[in-house]
Structure 1
Amino acid sequence: MRVVVLGGGYAGVVLTDRLEDRLPADVDLVVVDDTGEHLVQHELHRVIRHPEFGDDVVVPLDDIFDRARVEVATVEDVDRDARQVELADGTSLDYDVAAVCLGAETAYYGLPGVEAHASPLKRLPDAARIRSEFEDLLESGGGTAVVGGAGLSGVQTAGELAAFAREADADADVVLLEQRETVAPSFPEQFRAAVRDELDREDVDVRTGVTVSRATDEVIETDDGDVAYDVFVWTGGIRGPDALDGERVDVHADFAADDRTLVLGDAARVIDAEGTAVPASAQAAVREAKVAARNVEKLVADVRERDDGFRPRLEQYTFDSPGWLVSVGDGAVAQVGPTVLRGAAANAVKSGVGASYLASAAGVRDAVGLLREEFDLAGE
C-alpha cells in the first residue's frame, strides 16, 4: 500500500511528520516535491535585505523525515480516477491514498504586462532578484519601488524594502498598492490598524482602494493614475498549482476531494465545520494537517480492511486562530487573542518565534515541532 504526500510546504511537512508515527510500518509513505527542500516561507521576505538568511530558510526534506521516502520531481497532473500522479519526467506514481499539499502560485489575473514586468515572492530566486533590482535602484541615486497587494506578504515586502533604503541612507520611495480599502484586508480591524501604523512609521506610501489595470516597463496603470516605478513586486493574490490546472480545489472540513484523495493547505479552498472560509496561511495549513493526518489514517485502515466503496466517517476541521504575526521592516505587529502588540513586545514575539524556528531548522530535526509552536499556540 502506498500513501503519497504531494508537496513539502507547511501542510505537507506537518502531515508527513504525523503520518510517520500513525501509519503501519509496511505502508510506503512517499513525499513528492519539486525541490526536495522545505522553504520557511514566512521568513522569505527577510532574504531581500539579509541574503545571508538564504541558507537558513531552506531545510532538506530528507533531514526532516525519518521514514518517508522523498522523491524530487515536479507533479504535472493528479489523475484521481486512476489514483495516479503524473510527473514531469514522464513517469507516474500510483497511490492508494493521496494528500495534495502543493501550495499555490502567484495570481496575475490576466492583467496585461503585470506578470512580464513584476517579480513575485514565492521562492529564494525571487528574493534574490528583488534584492538585486533594489540594489541597482539604490546605487543609481534613488527611485521608486512598488509592491502590488497589501496582504501579509506585500506588507512584509514593502516594510523590508523601506528599511533597506533607510539603512542605505538612500532616496528611495516604497509604494504599496491595494485594491481593497485597507491593508491586510482579511484580518481583524485592530490588527489592520496596527499594521497600517507600522507601515506609516516605516514611511511606506500606502495607497488603498487602487485597482491596477496593466503595467509597462516604466509605469503601472491604475484607476487612480499611472505610477512610475523602477522595481515592481507583485503579491496581489494566489491561484492553484499548475498540476491542478491553476485551480484551488473546493473542499469541506474533512479535506476530501474524493474517497481516496485529500487536498489541503493553499492548494485548497477550505470551508470548515462551521461554514467559515479558511484563510490561506501557513498557520491554517499547519492546523489543517493535524486533522488531515487522522483522516489519512482512517482511509488507509478502510482500504486495508474492506475497500467496499463506503467512506469512513472523517474528522472535521474548524479554524480557530490563536493569533497573527507580521513583520514590518524593523517593527512587527502581533495579535494574540484580542490583544494587539506593537513595538518591542511584538518584535519579541515575532523575532523569538522566527529565530527559534530558524535555529531549529539549521539544526535540522525539530523544524516540525517549531511549526507547531509558532502556528498552534493552543496545543492539540
Structure 2
Amino acid sequence: MSSSTSSTGKRIVVLGAGYAGLTAAKGAGRHHRVTLVAPEERLLHRIRQHEAAAGRGRDWPAIADLARGRTIEHRRARAVELDLAGRKVALDDGTSLGYDTLVYALGSRTAWHDVPGAAEHAHPVERATEVRRLIREAEHPGTLAVVGGGATGIELATELAEAHPDWRVRIVAAGRVGGTYSPKGRAHIRRVLDRLGVAVHENATVTEVTPDGLRTTAGPIEAGLTVWAASLEPHPLAAQAGLAVDERGRALVDDHLRSRSHPDVHVVGDAAAVTVPGVGTLRMGCATALPQGQYVGRLLDGRTAKPFSFRYVVQCLSLGRRDGLLQLVHPDDSMKPTVLTGTAGRLAKAGIVSVVLGALK
C-alpha cells in the first residue's frame, strides 16, 4: 500500500505546505495517510516575511514538527505537471504520485505585470532573506524602495525603516498608500511612515525598474535596492492543467471548495476563487487561507459535510516593532471606523500571529 493510502484505500495528496495546505493535510491526516508535497523544510511564514527581510526573523517551525502526530509523509519536491484525467501528479524529482483526492494549495507568487526590468532588478517579498543579505553586505547605507502600498508593502517599509534608520526608505504606490483602510487607519499609517522617515510616493505607477531605481508615471525615483510587494498572482499550474479558473487564474470552486470542473480536486488558499454568499469573493491572504485549509481537512476527515462559510472580522498590520494597526471590518471586509493603534495595535497583531502558529501546531 502506498504511503498516501488510508486504511480505507483512499489516496490523498496535498500540494503546498503554506497555511492552507498544511492545515488541510493535518486535518485529513488525523485518520488518513496523506502525502504532502512541498520542497521547503520549514514553514514559509509569509505573515512574518517583513521581519525576516529586516533581519529580525528567526527559523520558522519545521514542517516535520508541525506534522507530528499525523500520518503525513512530507515529499520534498515540486509538482510540475497535473494529469487530471489519470489522477497523477508529476514531481520535479522524476517520480509521480497517484491520487483519489487532490488538495491543490500551491498559493500565489509575486506578480511582475510585465513591467520591464522588474524581474531582473527588483527582489520579491518571498525572497526576504535575500533582501536581508543585500542590506547587510552593502558597503554603505543607501536608498531602498518598496513597491506596493498595500499591507505587505506597508509592513516591509516600516520594518525596514525602523531596523535600518541609516537607510533612506521609500514606499511607492500606484494609488494611495493604505488606500483600502478607513480614514483613521490611513491617517495612522501615514503618521508612522512620517515618524520613521519613510518617503511616500503615491499615484506613481512603476513603468520600469532599473539597477538605479524606478521610472514611474510621476517621474523617476532613485533606489539602489528595490523590493517588490505590488501584487500577487496564483501559481499557473492549475490553469495549465485544465482546472476551470477565473480571469486571474484562480481555480473556480463550489461551496465545498471542490473544483467546478474536477470535483476530485479541492482547491484552497490563494489558488482558489472562493465566493461566499453575503461576503463576495475572498481576497488572498492568511486570514482566508487558514480557514479554508481547516475546513477541507475536516471535510476529508468526515467531521463536517456543511458548505464552507466565512466572515471577515479584522485586518491587522505590523508597523515596526513598536506600533501596529488593528482595523475592524464588516463581514464583507468593508471598513468600520474603529481602529486600535500604537501598542494596542501591535499587541493585537502579535496575538493574531500567535493564533495562526497555534492553529498550525
Q: Shorter-chain TM-score: which interval? A: 0.7 to 0.9
Q: Is the 8 A contact 1:156 1:327 kept in 2?
A: yes
Pick one of 81, 84, 108 that aligns with 1:80: 84
Provide the secondary structure at the position in 2 that maps to 1:279. Answer: coil
CA distance in 1, matches of 2:178, 2:83: 36
Q: Calculate the TM-score normalised by the size of structure 2.
A: 0.84
Distance apart, 1:281 and its partner CA: 0.8
CA distance in 2, matches of 1:322, 1:343: 20
Distance apart, 1:146 and its partner CA: 0.4
Equivalent position amino acid for 1:178 in 2: A
Pick one of 267, 283, 286 that aligns with 1:282: 286
Structure 2 match to 1:133: 134
Q: Is the 8 A contact 1:38 1:58 kept in 2?
A: yes
Provide the secondary structure at the position in 1 that maps to 2:360. Answer: helix
Q: Is the 8 A contact 2:213 2:225 kept in 1?
A: no
Cα deviation 1:135-188 (Å, max 9, x = unaligned)? 355x52x4311011122111111111111222xxx2x321111112x2234455
CA distance in 2, matches of 1:268, 1:188: 27
Structure 2 match to 1:159: 158
Pick one of 32, 35, 41 that aligns with 2:40: 35
CA distance in 1, matches of 2:250, 2:41: 23
Structure 2 match to 1:305: none
Q: Is the 8 A contact 1:295 1:314 kept in 2?
A: yes
Pick one of 111, 118, 131 that aligns with 1:114: 118
Q: Counterparts in 2 of 1:13-28, with a 5 A limit?
A: 13-21=22-30, 25=31, 27-28=32-33
Distance apart, 1:341 and its partner CA: 0.7
Structure 1 match to 2:6: none
Distance apart, 1:259 and its partner CA: 1.5
Structure 1 match to 2:311: 320
Pick one of 209, 230, 234 that aligns with 1:240: 234
Q: Calculate the TM-score normalised by the size of structure 1.
A: 0.80
Distance apart, 1:63 and its partner CA: 4.0
Provide the secondary structure at the position in 1 that maps to 2:204. Answer: coil
Cα deviation 1:38-63 (Å, max 9, x = unaligned)? 22211121122335x332x2423354
Pick one of 265, 268, 275 that aligns with 1:271: 275
Structure 2 residue 109 is the aligned partner of structure 1 residue 105: yes
Cα deviation 1:214-268 (Å, max 9, x = unaligned)? 1111131111111111110001111122433493323344322121001110112
Structure 1 match to 2:72: 68
Q: Is the 8 A contact 1:62 1:70 kept in 2?
A: no
Provide the secondary structure at the position in 2 that maps to 1:161. Answer: helix
Equivalent position amino acid for 2:339 in 1: V
Provide the secondary structure at the position in 2 that maps to 1:37. Answer: coil
CA distance in 1, matches of 2:346, 2:65: 32
CA distance in 2, matches of 1:186, 1:37: 32
Structure 2 match to 1:347: 346
Structure 2 match to 1:306: none
Q: Is the 8 A contact 1:147 1:235 kept in 2?
A: yes
Provide the secondary structure at the position in 2 that maps to 1:99. Answer: strand
Distance apart, 1:131 and its partner CA: 1.8
Q: Counterparts in 2 of 1:188-227, with a 5 A limit?
A: 188-227=182-221
Structure 1 match to 2:15: 6
CA distance in 2, matches of 1:206, 1:314: 48
Structure 1 match to 2:4: none
Between Structure 1 and Structure 2, the one with more helix by share is: 1
CA distance in 1, matches of 2:186, 2:50: 19
When structure 1 is superposed on structure 2, of 267-276 and 71-80 the one drifting more is 267-276
CA distance in 2, matches of 1:314, 1:81: 26
CA distance in 2, matches of 1:277, 1:198: 31
5+ residue gaps, structure 2: 1-9, 241-247, 330-335
Q: Counterparts in 2 of 1:246-257, with a 5 A limit?
A: 247-257=249-259
Structure 2 residue 324 is the aligned partner of structure 1 residue 332: yes
Distance apart, 1:353 and its partner CA: 4.3
Q: Is the 8 A contact 1:175 1:206 kept in 2?
A: yes
* Percentage of pairs with the same residue: 26
Provide the secondary structure at the position in 1 that maps to 2:93. Answer: coil
